[in-house]
Amino acid sequence: MRRFIASLTGKVVSHLVVLALLVPFVSVAMLGRATAQIQLQPAWAVIEFKNLKSSGTSFGKKAAEAVRSAYSKTNDYDMVSQEQIDRAVKTLSLSLPPEGTVNMLRIAQEVHAQTVVTGEISDYRIDNVGSGKQARVGLRVVAYDVASGLPVNGSYVAGESTIRSGVADESVLVDDAIAQAAGAAVHEMQSRTLPKATVLNTLSKTALINSGARSGFKDGQQVLVFRGKEQVATAHIVDAEPDQANIAFDRVSKGVRPGDTIRAVFPIPEIPAGAKFTAAGVLKGNRSHNPHGNPSGLITTLLVVGLVVALLSNGNANSTDIGGQVKAQAVNDSNYWPGPAIQISWTTNGFFKGNGVVGNGPAAFQVYRNDIPNVPILVAAGGDRSILDNDQVKPAYGYLDTGGVVGGIICNYSSVTNATTAATNAGVVKGRPYTYSVEMVYGVSSQDIPGQGSSSGTTSGGTSGTTSSSSGTTSSSSGTTSSSSGTTSSSSGTTSSSSGTTSSSSGTTSSSSGSADTCYFLTSKTNSVGTATTFAQPTLSAPLEGATIQSATPFTVGTVIGSYNIQVEYVLQVSADITFTKNNTRTKTYSAVIPSNTQSTISLGVIDPSTFPSAVRSLGKGYWRVGVRNPSDKPGPLADSYTGLRYIFSLPRSFSLFVSPPSAP
């Protein structure tokens, strides 16, 4: 045996035996890799199109082949072959193209496709171009989600073939135009395809997902929620931020939970009624005939006039509010205030009323908070559009109080005074949601108020300020009492020894901030769009500053939950940059955590260093911080200046990664 093994023949046999033993393991490994690659590619099926112009041709099959070929070139999908579709049609005893959406979905389910694509050929024609011919085709392509049966993407395009000689077969020209249209439709649909997002956490009516505006999601966009291949809800995007967004549920069938996936839905174009190619080769639908000519100019004029009327009438110029929007956003930044605070900001439109104390514009804005609804807690100047409510006790303001009267035509207030009283109104409290409202103090010239135009001056009592009962004139009097109570009490026709004014006044306006020919009014209150909750900056617990991280490590933070029964959302960030900018993969935001009850320390999870951004792992060090917010706030805290995320962030902590020492030589 030893001689045999040592011989050339024995060595060859030994190597063959070893190779035979290794083959099964290599095959299993290759099969696992191939299976993994197949699973990464979603299965798409393309089913024969309907030919709305002529059902007796093969153009519907050509359209399906062209669309399948265009999608195959993207390398993004596992395309179901036509042979598989033909077998499924035979098994289900159906025909192509299928009649109705139900039969189409049955075929897709039979071939285990996640998305099925089909459509219609609306029209085609052959034109003589110079000495050759050219075909034009109108093609509508629609992608359906098989689990929900809903259309999720689509396109309607016109395709043109290349110009060929006059002897070219017309079917070849149409096939070429179909291929061109299919390529354009698939390109358009691919440009609108968004990556699937994942649900991070849920509330009763909303959920947080891990993709946002940077991925293409935008407010109002319709989405589908899946658990595996099963649809569990429909929703739409709200509050889209750069790298995350919230979804609001429209219909929930089985509840939504973390880990569910999100798929965007795009509007599907319809084929216009009677869509045909015009003599100029343009694809258009039928339009109703108007025997009186084209009214578009008149309609446009009426719309413009209607808009102007709306802006200048009750909608704006005579509206009862500030004509804009009020937002409240929590801040925790020494640039604003060293402690918890809320910034209230508002907008007005170009048609708001009145003259301010100086120049045109509002005289002031009075700000109210929901816990002190009847007294302004802050007063901003007429030129301001934001103000800060902090944790300090506030004085009670009495800038202008009309007793709840909004607007008006009686000049009861010809002055505005900032009469503050002792500081008795509490500042904001950490962990309590607040809402705000803003009203405008505005001035109007007395000449513009009905019944006030003949006055040369007005007083707080509302009198005209003229000596109306005098039957004569005063020799040197100007005829008006600029600061008098309005009349000379005992004059029979002359005011003896009068110098033209009455010396004593029962109500003056001389100390007002506005002139005597300006009257001041209030708008109604405009409420903030949502709540705002302020917190102290989170206090990081573990790991400690400068800690060395070698393996999976628990990250914890001190609670910011106060005595108010609200949910609080925490989020952990790890970055190679202390400013946490989002360049490449330098910053990673981990799943947000919402604790279920009051705790002294919040666990943010056990994080494996292998999941840190590549820049952190290559440098061997990095930074981490924690953000906090009330997920019910709208729009949320002021956006972070570097990341755009709406959280109140802690100060960062540094850490190092453990690097194994080199092996001994």
- Gap between the Cα atoms of 111 and 499, Å rounded: 105
Q: What Cα–Cα distance (Å) separates residue 423 from each residue in 403, 434, 591?
A: 22, 20, 43
Q: How far apart, in whole angstroms, are the C-alpha atoms of residue 387 and residue 400?
A: 18
Query: C-alpha 123: how far from its chain's center?
Result: 39
Q: Is the fold of 43-191 the same as that of 535-657?
A: no
pTM of the model: 0.48
Q: Tell me the CATH number for domain 535-657.
A: 2.60.40.2060
475-504: pLDDT as tens digits: 333 333 333 333 333 333 333 333 333 333
pLDDT at 637: 93
Exposed / middle / buried, residue 217 (Cβ in 10 Å: 0-12, 13-18, 19+):
buried
252 bridge partner residues? 233
In Å, how far are 337, 338, 369, 425, 426 from 378, measured between CA atoms? 16, 19, 9, 10, 12
Helix (H) or strand (E) holding 644: none
With 0-12 / 13-18 / 19 or more C-beta atoms within 10 angstroms meaning exposed / middle / buried, residue 305 is: exposed
CB of 364 closer than 8 Å to CB of 382: yes
Contact (Cβ atoms closer than 8 angstroms) between residue 563 and residue 429: no
Side chain identity at residue 604, one-letter code: L
CA distance linking residue 239 with residue 220, whole number of Å:
9
What tens digit of pLDDT does each residue of 526-576 get?
A: 999 889 998 888 889 999 999 999 899 999 988 877 666 777 888 888 888
Domain 43-191 CATH superfamily: ABC-type transport auxiliary lipoprotein component (3.40.50.10610)
CA 610-611-612 angle, 5° bins? 95
**Residue 336: predicted pLDDT:** 60
C-alpha count within 13 angstroms, C-beta hemisphere, residue 521: 23
Exposed / middle / buried, residue 171 (Cβ in 10 Å: 0-12, 13-18, 19+): middle
Compute the half-sphere exposure of residue 49: CA atoms within 13 Å on the CB side of its CA. 30
What DSSP line would sit under 501-530, residue for residue?
S-S--SS--TTSSS-TTEEEEEPPPEEBSS
Q: Are strands 436-445 and 394-395 parallel, antiparallel or unpaired?
A: unpaired
pLDDT of residue 421: 74
Q: Would you state the pLDDT for residue 80?
A: 93
Calpha distance 525→368 (Å, rounded): 9
Strand (E) or helix (H) holding 134: strand 132-145
Element (H, E) at 494: none
Rounded to whole angstroms, the Cα distance separating 456 from 466 reads 8
> b/e map of 342-373 (b: 16 or more CB within 10 Å)?
bbbbbebeeebbbbbbeeebbbbbbbbbeeee
- Residue 61 has a pLDDT of 92
Low-confidence ranges of the chain (pLDDT < 50): 32, 34-39, 286-302, 304-318, 357-359, 453-516, 584-586
Do residues 246 and 207 lie in contact, with contact meaning Cβ atoms separated by under 8 Å? yes
| Domain made up of 197-265: CATH architecture | Beta Barrel (2.40)
Sign (positive or negative) of CA dihedral 408, 412, 415, 419: negative
CA atoms of 182 and 142, how far apart (whole Å): 11
Look at residue 587 in the predicted model and tell me its pLDDT. Answer: 55
Of 35, 36, 33, 63, which Cα lies nearest the Cα of 48? 63
Residue 287 is predicted with a pLDDT of 40
pLDDT at 593: 67
- Distance (Å, whole) CA 24 – CA 132: 61
